[in-house]
Amino acid sequence: MLRYTLRRFLLMIVTLLGVSILVFALFAMMPGDFFSGDTKLTPMRLEQLRESYGLNKPVMTRYFLWLGQLLHGDWGFSLQYNQPVSKVIGTYIWNSFIISFGAFLIAWIAAILASIYSARHQYSPFDRTLTFVVFALMSLPSFFIGLVLIKVFAINLGIMPVGGLIDTGSNYTGAQYWFDVIHHAILPMMVIVFVNFGPLTRYFRVSMIDTLGMDFIRTARAKGLPESSVVYKHALKNAMLPAITLLGFRLPALFSGAIITEQIFSWPGIGRIQYESVTTRDYSLLMAITLLLAVLTVVGNFIADVLYTMADPRVRLTRSKA
């Protein structure tokens, strides 16, 4: 186990180095920069600004300078916000985490419970209704769901705010401030829950149906074990093993934000500043966000691999033989 973990960790380091090269190369090949969009700058002034920020240096030189800064904790400087990139990301990333983490918990719990009941009562009216709802949610784009929720709950009923992080002009502090933030976060969270509930339910339902048809489940029932013990102690544990891998891919989503949802609700999250950094060509900020999400993806897969080998001894046995 320790040997496999160490090997996966070393592979993760090599992968991250390759990712950093790829990310920097992609943005280096993109045309223009932050200053090229300003038509008021003279060619001489434009060249001076590029030289002062090191934008006119060779690509390889810029990469090693950028990598050296990263290793020392310097993520660069955002020309759009006129602040260090780390400060900009630190300001907005937790706003995205608020809605993403809450939606993550609700969607996963609801999907697991619905898929268990649906798998146990396959082809029942509940199963057919759930299948219809799942496919309906999967076919609707997030912006449409968001606009419908705003129309119903914010405009017609008036019980939810249209958007933003807090009420405009408010000076709430303490618990009152967080209550206001949660109140504004409900509708964006609902959009993310609806978008994720469908695919998760389909995934868990199929896994649960396959597990309930396995020999060890029939053996457990033949021994006279209660149905609740068969389902929740034996079947659920094995059916949820593939979910560990899925968790590794969901880790970046907790911090990456939802660009469309955050735009619709004017939620100041990381997805929104990603969009703005693209339009303004703030490549330092955009590179840092892209690299951060890539790192979270690689780390998430590393954690998922380790957890999977801990949860399923067969994986350790197979890999040790290989």
Give the pLDDT of the chain (322 residues) as one tens digit per residue. 677 678 778 888 888 888 889 888 888 887 777 777 666 777 787 777 777 777 778 888 888 888 888 888 888 888 888 888 888 888 888 888 888 888 989 999 999 999 999 988 888 999 999 999 999 888 888 889 999 999 999 999 989 998 888 887 778 888 888 899 999 999 999 999 998 898 889 888 888 888 888 888 888 888 888 888 888 888 887 887 777 777 777 777 777 667 888 888 988 888 888 888 888 888 888 888 888 888 888 888 888 777 777 666 555 545 545 5
pLDDT of residue 106: 92
Tell me the CA distances in angstroms from 21 to 16, 24, 231, one per residue in order: 9, 5, 47
192 in Cβ contact with 100 (< 8 Å): yes
115 in Cβ contact with 208 (< 8 Å): yes
Structure tokens at 62: 């810029």
C-alpha angle 257-263-266 in degrees, rounded to nearest 5: 100
Helix and strand numbers (H, E) in the chain are 16, 2
pLDDT of residue 91: 85
Domain ranges of the chain: 84-321
Tokens 């199929």 sit on residue? 206
Tokens 């969607």 sit on residue? 107
pLDDT of residue 212: 86
Distance (Å, whole) CA 316 – CA 50: 53
pLDDT of residue 132: 92
Three-state DSSP state, 235: helix
Distance (Å, whole) CA 50 – CA 79: 12
Q: Which of 155, 149, 157 is nearest to 185 (CA)?
A: 149
pLDDT of residue 129: 93
Residues 6+ apart with CB under 8 A from 75: 69, 84, 85, 86, 89, 284, 288
pLDDT of residue 253: 73
Strands (E), 24-135: 77-78, 83-84
Distance (Å, whole) CA 97 – CA 268: 11
Fold observed for domain 84-321? MetI-like fold (1.10.3720)
C-alpha angle 24-27-28 in degrees, rounded to nearest 5: 80
Distance (Å, whole) CA 247 – CA 304: 7
Structure tokens at 8: 């996966």
Helix axes 313-321, 283-311, angle to 10 degrees: 100
